[in-house]
Homo-oligomer: A and B are copies of this chain.
Amino acid sequence: MKTSIVRVELSGRSYDIYIASGAFDLAVSAAKDRLSRRNPVAFVSEENIWGKFVNFDNPDFENCAKIIVENGEGAKCFRNLERICRELAQRNVDRSGAVFAVGGGVVGDLAGFSAASYMRGIDFYQVPTTLLAMVDSSVGGKTGINIPEGKNLVGAFHQPKAVFIDTSFLKTLPAREFSAGMAEVIKYGLLGDKSFFGFLENLKEPLSASHPEIGNVIAHCCKMKAKIVSNDERETSKDGGRALLNLGHTFAHAIENTAGYGHYLHGEAVGLGMLLAARMSEKLGMLSEEETSRIRRILEIYDLPVKFREPISSDLLIEAGRRDKKAMSGKSRYVLMNGIGTSVVVPGIEESLAREIFETAMG
């Protein structure tokens, strides 16, 4: 097993991301190591992961809490947060304990927020099983749950102790989920690396679980994210920083919130959101028509939606946008592109423009 290691530099909270086919064994070793020091370990996973290719039912983990949540975005809720915290307490997990999140972004965000809040913070480890979680949500310490008013509106910054990315997990990932992850991969090219975007465009075969470049692509995305997170851990930078990772996300959150969680996978909404961000950028003279077309084309290669599947009320989209975390004092900020590979935060966008752009996706 050849392992790529990407370091996330955050002084006292620095950690490594291990990327390899078979990296899951490293997670198992980390859990065993903690248990050998008599520190409690709990696993949080989801229905279609546990017992499929992950097996913690060996005697070493007999006494560990194993908490399985339902599939889908709906699992990121207060009910599951409470359930996990209570189960940790019932299993006598103390401050020396750790939570291992084994699953997609939903499990990582939920388990991470549970670990952040339980006893005001215990250790946790990310073991992402989807492409989206591998390149995005498992790195950087953003954790949280949804409320009916919006996605990720409740949460914490809580960095993992390590991230273990086992690329062999991708082989059983449904095609639609793989595509959703590709939206976040493409995002890295759009927000900060023109040549990486070109590399993705020019691949002879589209990326897939068995593509020889998949490990390198994931490592490249993690490196980009690690660098951005190191410079702006809590998204307080004035000139972009971590906020640039939200390219397409203001649109995406409004779409997900309005269409109902789960109707679009997060990555699908992000893909469409990036196309809308491209159109807004083009409208403001920041991006050429040809660049917008290139973005549309690569989304289509990965079967990502380039318009709404069903009509959505633009009033509701606008209303949802107002509640987005990126809004400040009632003004809307969007991450837009000054050409492919150069994202910038643009404040003070009029609602009328957002509405016009949303309407381009209507049909």
Contacts and interface: CB of A to CB of B under 8 A. Distances in A.
Contacts of A116: 156
Contact of A154 (B90, B118, B148, B329): B118
Interface string A229-268: 0000010000000000000000000000000000000000
Given A81-B78, A86-B147, A156 B327 contact: no
A122 to B, nearest CB: 10
Given A144-B120, A156-B117, A89 B329 contact: no
B329 A39 contact: yes
A155 B114 CA distance: 10
A85 B144 CA distance: 12
A82 interface: yes
A322 to B, nearest CB: 6
A91 to B, nearest CB: 10
Total identical chains: 2
A288 to B, nearest CB: 33
Interface stretch (A22-30, A92-100, A127-135, A305-313): A92-100
A121 interface: yes
A38 B82 CA distance: 34
Given A82-B147, A327-B94, A328-B95, A121 B156 contact: yes
Interface residues of A, number: 40
A223 interface: no
A153 B94 contact: no
B117 A117 contact: yes
Contacts of A78: 78, 81-82
Nearest to A157: B120
A150 B150 CA distance: 30
Interface in A68-84: 78, 81-82
Given A78-B82, A118-B154, A328 B94 contact: yes
A148 B94 contact: no
B119 A89 contact: no
A328 B120 CA distance: 15
Contacts of A148: 86
Interface string A183-211: 00000000000000000000000000000
Given A121-B157, A157-B120, A147 B89 contact: yes
Interface string A52-77: 00000000000000000000000000
23 contacts: A38-B329, A38-B330, A39-B329, A78-B81, A82-B147, A85-B154, A86-B148, A89-B150, A89-B323, A90-B149, A92-B322, A92-B323, A92-B327, A94-B325, A94-B327, A94-B328, A94-B329, A94-B330, A96-B328, A118-B153, A120-B156, A120-B157, A121-B156
Given A117-B154, A117-B156, A119-B155, 20 more contacts: A78-B81, A85-B147, A85-B153, A86-B147, A86-B148, A89-B149, A92-B327, A94-B328, A95-B325, A96-B328, A117-B117, A117-B155, A119-B153, A119-B154, A119-B325, A120-B142, A120-B155, A120-B156, A120-B234, A156-B156
The 6 closest A-B pairs by CB, nearest first: A89-B149, A78-B82, A120-B155, A38-B329, A119-B325, A85-B154
